[in-house]
Amino acid sequence: MEKKKDILLKVIKASYRYSDAEEGEYALKDVSFDFELGKIYAIKGRSGSGKTTLLSLISGLERATDGEIIFDGKNLKDMNLDKYRSQEIGIVFQSYNLLPYMTASENIILSMDINGDKSKNKEEKAIKLMEKVGLKESYASRKVLRLSGGEQQRVAIARSLSYNPKMIIADEPTGNLDKQTEKEIIEIFKKLAHEENKCVIIVTHSDNVSKLVDKVYDLDKVK
Ligand code: ADP
Ligand code: MG
């Protein structure tokens, strides 16, 4: 018998229509995808196919016009979305979104503070998170503007892990990086899925990324 799947997130016939869209014009229509713990996913599709819109629904920034999104057995419709966003999911952006004049560890600690982390050894915790993404301790005190793009993205991934979320969502996280660095960043996400049992969801244009993940969902095939 097949082992019961550990589904963390279920998107069930989700549709989304922006308020200023024409009657009947949907950015996303009847999308159904399952996401399991311990796996890494790519969501691909041409520009305008609804990738960012789908991430907005999954990350609780927007509510689905129709359909359901179920996280860990609970419907997002019934959840406090601010709490969901600050405790359950980590988000990584294409442009890193770090504060350039702060150091790497200060950026991570700031996220811990915003999310109400009361622990006393935050610096130590930040350094451990940085080591997890392949940045040695000496990087902690370096200002972000003195880091390469790939290093900045590693800091951003470390930051997304600061409250130990089950799910990590990334919108084109390697869009500004060269091919080799892209591969290294995807390997970090893979390790988080396979060794730390996270559910990792990456929106990407890159076929190289699609080749490295466990499963690809193609929004062009839904429309
Ligand atoms: P992708 O990320 O795949 O390029 P998006 O999710 O950004 O696609 O967009 C999907 C569709 O929704 C597009 O047709 C786009 O023009 C439309 N759209 C995106 N954002 C908005 C918005 N804020 N208001 C109205 N329409 C939008
Ligand atoms: Mg997009």
What's the pLDDT tens digit per position in 159-169? 999 999 999 99
pTM to 2 decimal places? 0.94
Q: In what order do the strands lie in the sheet with 40-44?
A: 89-92, 167-171, 199-203, 40-44, 215-218
Q: Indicate whether 212 belongs to any domain.
A: yes
Q: Which domain holds residue 150?
A: 7-219
Q: Indicate whether 2 belongs to any domain.
A: no
Q: Give the pLDDT band (50/70/90) at residue 4.
A: low
* Calpha distance 37→49 (Å, rounded): 25
Residue 70 token pair: 């179920």
- Span 153-176, average pLDDT: 96
Q: Indicate whether 1 belongs to any domain.
A: no
Helix or strand holding residue 33 (H, E): strand 28-36
Our answer on whether the CB atom of 15 is closer than 6 Å to any ligand 1 atom is no
Q: Determine the atom of ligand 1 nearest the C-alpha atom of 219.
A: 3
Domain count for the chain: 1
Q: What backbone phi and psi angles, to 5 degrees, belong to 220?
A: -65, -25
What's the pLDDT tens digit per position in 118-133? 999 999 999 999 999 9
Q: What backbone phi and psi angles, to 5 degrees, belong to 153?
A: -65, -35
SS3 160: helix
Q: Indicate whether 199 belongs to any domain.
A: yes
Indicate the top mutation candidate among 16, 31, 52 to test ligand 1's pocket, ranked by most ligand atoms within 8 A of CB. 52
What's the pLDDT tens digit per position in 95-105? 999 999 999 99
Q: Which amino acid is at 61?
A: L
Q: Indicate whether 45 belongs to any domain.
A: yes
Q: What CATH number has the domain bearing residue 33?
A: 3.40.50.300
Q: Indicate whether 11 belongs to any domain.
A: yes
A 10 A CB-CB count for 216 gives 16
